[in-house]
């Protein structure tokens, strides 16, 4: 089984939290998994839940829903999301050479901008959400396609093991 990589929150770019409801499991009705972003003292930006007989299945279903919605809900991309997204791609390498170069240039430009001017700079660089539309969104779609192919391959592999 492959471990499912969770996307960062589409708004704040933080890693989501996975919660396992131990008391629900103790009651014997099955397992409950919640995945959410948790901003301090505020409502989650995104939250998904799933209930299944076993926790692993509940987690897998919740993780798929989280990733799908995280990809869909970026909207006008925040710098926080972009920053976290670049870190993830640098770690997993799932972007093209040109995308990596362009994103590195953007990050350097942002780092050279004084903190108080960053919001303005970001709005200028990402005018009309262009960084999202031209780099992040197509890359997210490629990642999703690759994951679908991988999942189909695993299911075929599993089916072959039944005899």
Structure-token pair, residue 160 = 């072959």
CA distance 45 to 4: 21
Distances from the Cα of 106 to the Cα of 37, 75, 99, 124, 159, angstroms: 26, 19, 11, 11, 45
Q: Tell whether residue 11 is a contact of Zn ion (CB under 5 A).
A: yes
Q: Tell whether residue 48 is a contact of Zn ion (CB under 5 A).
A: no
CA distance 12 to 130: 19
The 105-144 contact track toward Zn ion, x by CB under 5 A, reads ----------------------------------------
Q: Tell whether residue 35 is a contact of Zn ion (CB under 5 A).
A: no
Q: Which residues are paired to 46 by β-bridges?
A: none
Q: Are 157 and 98 in contact, with CB atoms under 8 Å apart?
A: no
Q: How far is the CB of 99 from Zn ion (least distance, A)?
A: 24
Options 35, 36, 45, 89; binder of Zn ion; rule CB under 5 A:
45
Q: Tell whether residue 12 is a contact of Zn ion (CB under 5 A).
A: yes
Options 6, 8, 33, 37; binder of Zn ion; rule CB under 5 A:
37
Binding site for Zn ion (CB under 5 A): 9, 11-12, 37, 45
């Amino acid at each position: 089984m492959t471990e499912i990589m969770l996307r960062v929150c589409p708004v704040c770019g933080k890693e989501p939290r996975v919660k396992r409801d131990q008391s629900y499991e103790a009651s014997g009705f099955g397992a409950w998994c919640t995945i959410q972003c948790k901003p301090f003292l505020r409502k989650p930006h995104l939250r998904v839940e799933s209930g299944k007989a076993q926790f692993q299945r509940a987690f897998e279903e919740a993780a798929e829903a989280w990733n799908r919605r995280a990809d869909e809900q970026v909207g006008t991309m925040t710098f926080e999301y972009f920053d976290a997204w670049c870190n993830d791609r640098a770690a997993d390498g799932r972007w093209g050479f040109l995308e990596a170069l362009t994103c590195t240039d953007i990050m350097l430009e942002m780092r050279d901008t004084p903190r108080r001017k960053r919001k303005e700079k970001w709005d200028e660089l990402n005018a009309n959400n262009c960084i999202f539309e031209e780099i992040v969104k197509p890359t997210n779609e490629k990642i999703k396609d690759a994951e679908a192919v991988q999942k189909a391959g695993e299911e075929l592999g599993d089916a072959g093991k039944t005899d």
